[in-house]
């Protein structure tokens, strides 16, 4: 494709529906200006900080549903209040299912939709990624089926670990809606100039993330800087979302995170977003503000629309 101006990029990516993947496939050798982010928003891998003080080893979920699950539940709560991101193993999703899901995300033609990228005509900088809100049905169902028990186990541990009474109906209410997305990050000629996905926190209660072995997921550690969540074979990444932070009256942390693409390989990740149904009223669990001596969040109406 060579050097092209902005009007050509918009025509090629948006109007003709080729997407970012089409840019990469065309032999593009440099990132178009619309994808270049301000210096302060870029990810400089040399300036990231050591993750070990903030991110512990993967939490082994074997026995989470058993009678002696206290140590596991405590580890989950500690991770949720400290960073809001952690990794888990022995989670119930088989290696075969995870590999099928990653393969589906890597090979499916997903150039038809790129989240905000194709629809945002304002000055916001675009992310160098392709995002689709639908997985192939069988792969998505297998992934969800394998993860369901883990989802309820983790969410139940995090809510009950707040030391207030939590009924099963409340647990079900706040995990009722689940959406499987797939994210595809084509090789980027100048990953140091852009981001795959810009800084954000998740609106969901929990996010269950299957990432490949490429790396590139970064989490903000308060004012200390950014750490990378390293890929670990067989592990899933779990992160607290805004909804759970609200339910916990601010105890569990919904951390900002972002993604950088690779210059040589395509990267894929497949999140399950676990949320209340739209139009559900959410707020700190009953008794928490009194226990904490303050109300961090007011009640509000949960609303979330998946584009597509």
- 226 has a pLDDT exceeding 50: yes
**pLDDT score recorded for residue 88:** 98
Nearest CA to 35 among 132, 116, 133?
116
- 124 has a pLDDT exceeding 80: no
**pLDDT score recorded for residue 308:** 35
Task: Provide the greatest CA pair distance for the chain.
Answer: 63
Q: Measure the CA angle with vertex 243, ends 259 and 137; round to 5°.
A: 65
Torsion from C-alpha of 91, 107, 194, 52, nearest 10 degrees: 20
| Whether 202 contacts 85, CB under 8 Å | no
Nearest CA to 43 among 298, 250, 259?
259
d(CA 9, CA 293): 54
User: pLDDT band at residue 159, thresholds of 50, 70 and 90?
Assistant: very high
- 134 has a pLDDT exceeding 50: yes
Residue 131 phi, psi dihedral angles, 5° rounding? -125, 130
User: pLDDT band at residue 293, thresholds of 50, 70 and 90?
Assistant: very high
The more confidently predicted of residues 133 and 187 is 187
Mean pLDDT of 129-136: 60
Alpha-carbon distance values, 267 to 25, 221, 222, 292 (Å): 15, 24, 27, 42
**pLDDT score recorded for residue 306:** 47
Q: Is 132 exposed, middle or buried (0-12, 13-18, 19+ CB in 10 A)?
A: buried
Structural domains of the chain, ranges and CATH numbers in brackets: 46-110+127-302 (2.60.120.330)
- 111 has a pLDDT exceeding 90: no
The more confidently predicted of residues 303 and 297 is 297
Read off the pLDDT of residues 166-224 as tens digits, 9 standing for 90 and up. Answer: 988 989 999 999 999 888 888 888 888 888 888 899 999 999 999 999 999 999 997 87
| Whether 198 contacts 42, CB under 8 Å | no
**pLDDT score recorded for residue 126:** 57
Q: Is 221 exposed, middle or buried (0-12, 13-18, 19+ CB in 10 A)?
A: buried
Read off the pLDDT of residues 246-266 as tens digits, 9 standing for 90 and up. Answer: 999 999 999 999 998 888 888
Nearest CA to 59 among 39, 77, 43, 44?
77
Percent of all residues in the chain with a pLDDT value above 90, rounded to a whole number: 56
User: pLDDT band at residue 271, thresholds of 50, 70 and 90?
Assistant: very high
Query: Could you tell me how many helices (H) and strands (E) the chain has, helices first?
Result: 9, 14
Q: Exposed e or buried b for every residue in 263-283, given b needs 16+ CB within 10 A?
A: eeebbbbbbbbbbbeeebebb
Alpha-carbon distance values, 231 to 26, 79, 249, 267 (Å): 29, 17, 31, 12
- 104 has a pLDDT exceeding 90: no
d(CA 58, CA 237): 9
d(CA 79, CA 85): 7
**pLDDT score recorded for residue 113:** 35
User: pLDDT band at residue 118, thresholds of 50, 70 and 90?
Assistant: very low
Listing DSSP states for 91-152 in one string gives -S--HHHHHHHHHHHHHS--TT-BTHHHH--SSPPPPS-EEES---HHHHHHHHHHHHHHHH
């Amino acid at each position: 494709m060579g050097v092209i101006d902005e009007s050509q990029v918009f025509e090629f990516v948006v109007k003709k529906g080729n997407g970012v993947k089409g840019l990469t496939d065309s032999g593009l050798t440099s990132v178009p200006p619309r994808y270049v982010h301000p210096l302060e928003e870029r990810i400089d891998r040399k300036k990231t900080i050591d993750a070990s003080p903030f991110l512990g080893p993967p939490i082994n979920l074997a026995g989470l549903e058993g009678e002696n699950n206290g140590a596991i539940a405590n580890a989950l709560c500690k991770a949720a209040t400290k960073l809001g991101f952690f990794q888990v193993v022995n989670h119930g999703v088989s290696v075969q299912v995870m590999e099928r899901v990653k393969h589906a995300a890597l090979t499916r033609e997903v150039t038809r939709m790129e989240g905000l990228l194709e629809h945002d005509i304002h000055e916001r900088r675009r992310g160098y990624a392709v995002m689709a809100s639908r997985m192939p049905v069988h792969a998505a169902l297998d992934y969800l089926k394998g993860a369901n028990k883990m989802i309820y186990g983790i969410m139940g541990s995090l809510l009950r670990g707040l030391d207030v009474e939590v009924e099963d109906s409340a647990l079900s209410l706040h995990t009722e809606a689940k959406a499987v997305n797939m994210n595809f990050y084509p090789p980027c000629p100048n990953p140091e100039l852009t981001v795959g996905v810009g800084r954000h926190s998740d609106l969901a209660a929990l996010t269950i993330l299957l990432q490949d072995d490429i790396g590139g997921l970064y989490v903000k550690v308060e004012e200390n800087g950014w750490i990378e969540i390293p890929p670990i074979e067989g592990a899933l990444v779990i992160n607290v979302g805004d909804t759970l932070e609200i339910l916990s009256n601010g105890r569990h942390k919904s951390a900002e995170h972002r993604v950088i693409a690779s210059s040589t390989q395509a990267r894929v990740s497949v999140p399950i977003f676990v949320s209340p149904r739209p139009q559900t009223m959410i707020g700190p669990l009953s008794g928490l503000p009194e226990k904490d001596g303050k109300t961090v969040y007011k009640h509000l109406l949960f609303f979330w629309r998946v584009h597509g």
